[in-house]
A and B are shown apart, each in its own frame.
Chain A
Amino acid sequence: KQEVTQIPAALSVPEGENLVLNCSFTDSAIYNLQWFRQDPGKGLTSLLLIQSSQREQTSGRLNASLDKSSGRSTLYIAASQPGDSATYLCAVRPLGNQGGKLIFGQGTELSVKP
């Protein structure tokens, strides 16, 4: 059974700091891995999607890596800003299931202090 774990559960950093969020998954049989942002009481905003054949994806100050063989992904946020404060979720799309089913981690709650 696929399980997704995110560490740390919460993180507080001063503005301007670079930071790394971690995601691990137990089964490497995935189509892709996706990082989302969730603001309190809101839905999900997709940040980056990495296909199983890819190693990393970049968008602005965000960089996500994927090591499928070891079951790990990281989300790197450069020069953090207070507006980055949110919960970050990673999710994998398992092979062999109906396309679109995602398994989510518990999330990392990020707080960037001005």
Chain B
Amino acid sequence: GAVVSQHPSWVICKSGTSVKIECRSLDFQATTMFWYRQFPKQSLMLMATSNEGSKATYEQGVEKDKFLINHASLTLSTLTVTSAHPEDSSFYICSALGGAGVNSPLHFGNGTRLTVT
């Protein structure tokens, strides 16, 4: 079946540094990918929609200059948390749309646990 690889699975960084998270579709092309954020014991909240070759669409309240998204190819989207602070510590999950139709399957990565010290 379709696989989405997310890397790294966990990362610890110091406050003020930037962290890049990669999301790859391994055996299919994904023109659209989604980035979610999950705080402990809470649900997934959509941060942004990433479209290959164009600017990402951010949800209300998500700072686009802080969470940089790049979708330069049909198999790779990256999320960069810039100037990270402890409040950015969270679980980040990407998903990739495996087709063009509205009922195309969504495939999720295994998530990245970010801890900012």
Q: Which A residues are within 8 Å of any B CB, using their own CB? A: 4, 31-32, 34, 36, 41-44, 46, 49, 51, 89, 91, 93, 98-107, 109
Contacts and interface: CB of A to CB of B under 8 A. Distances in A.
B46 A101 contact: yes
B93 A98 contact: no
Interface in B102-116: 102-106, 108-111, 113
Grouping DSSP codes into helix (H, G, I), strand (E, B) and loop, the B interface class, with mixed when no group exceeds half, is: strand
Interface range on chain B (Cβ under 8 Å from partner) = 20 to 34
A42 B93 CA distance: 9
B60 to A, nearest CB: 10
B93 A99 contact: no
Contacts of A106: 42-43
Contact of B44 (A42, A46, A89, A98): A89
Grouping DSSP codes into helix (H, G, I), strand (E, B) and loop, the A interface class, with mixed when no group exceeds half, is: strand
Nearest to B57: A98
B77 interface: no
B103 A44 contact: no
B43 A100 contact: no
Interface of B: 6, 32, 34, 36, 41-46, 49, 57, 91, 93, 95, 97, 100-106, 108-111, 113
Residue with the greatest number of chain B CB neighbours at <10 A, chosen from A4, A102, A109: A102
A99 B32 contact: yes
Contacts of B108: 36, 43-44, 46
A49 B113 CA distance: 27
